[in-house]
Amino acid sequence: MNDVETQTLQVPGARLHYEVRGTGPLLLMIPGAPADAGALTELATVLSDRYTVVTYDQRGLSRSALMGPPADQDVAVFSLDAHHLLAALGGEPAYVLGNSGGALTALDLAARHPEQVRALVVHEPPIPELLPDREHWRTVFQDVHDTYRDQGAGAAMGKFITTVDGENSAPPAMPSQMPPEALEMMGRIQGNLDYFLSHVLLPVLRFVPDIDALRSGPVPVAVGIGAASGDGVRTRSARILARHLGLEPLAFPGDHQGLAFDAATSAEIIHTSFAPAERSISA
């Protein structure tokens, strides 16, 4: 089912752009900055035969415009936006998928508003504050921020990719010919870099999830890690999060970009993870 309905929602301080596909129970998918809803389009399309899939651009990114001058945005602000969006969509509990930084939004939403979340899958949430060497990572990301200030977005993102993914990392391989919508998305992401590096990176990476609320709450949580993701900050923090929650991580295909590059396999893993919650609702 490829029909897409595009809407906007006014929330305090921003106007959110969101897209709706498919039929079935509600599934909210939250991308991580500096990406937008376009990064999850393929996955949303695959899942739209089983769910009403909603994807959106987080505030200040791409088509979700701020109503005032740019300012620092933390995870609590992003999760409040998700709360408002779910309320506007009818208030029914939703299945939620959060990818990368969007996983932090999803974790905070589940902790603060568990009545809105039927089940949650988070894919490679970057939570350096959970790591024993958190002070090192604070210094690393401050250096990325300072590099942006002194040398610009290109140098800063190069340093970000190297420090997060490793010295031998490279951008994901792209097909020789990309469809127009993918080219448009890449342009939007490029346009998001200044805002991401100046107002999102540091506040978001200081996030600490409410482990007690997640452990004791009613929301089933699954933590996913790409099988080819190595042992970087995202996979290390995802493993620690899973351990805190008493979980074994789910193995997803590929690396940090696996949801986009193997959407079909990823969709089956996500759907299987949601199945116990779906059965409990049907019982």
Q: Which domains does the chain have, with CATH numbers?
A: 4-128+207-282 (3.40.50.1820)
Please compute the mean of the pLDDT values over residues 179-190 and round it to a whole number: 85
Q: Please check whether residue 267 is in contact with residue 46, taking contact to mean a CB–CB distance below 8 angstroms.
A: yes
Query: What integer pLDDT is reported at residue 261 of this predicted model?
Result: 87
Residues sharing a CB contact under 8 Å with residue 233, sequence separation 6 or more, in sequence order: 126, 128, 131, 137, 164
161 has a pLDDT exceeding 50:
yes
145 has a pLDDT exceeding 80:
yes
93 vs 163, more confident: 93
pTM: 0.93
Q: How far is CA 171 from the centre of its chain?
A: 18
116 has a pLDDT exceeding 90:
yes
Q: What is the pLDDT of residues 58-101, one digit of tens each?
A: 999 999 999 999 999 999 999 999 999 999 999 899 999 999 99
Judged by DSSP in three states, 14 sits in strand
The two most distant CA atoms of the chain are separated, in Å, by 58
∠ Cα 263 268 270 (to 5°): 90
Place of tokens 């696996």: 258
Residues in the chain: 283
d(CA 246, CA 93): 24
Q: What are phi and psi of 30, to 5 degrees?
A: -115, 115
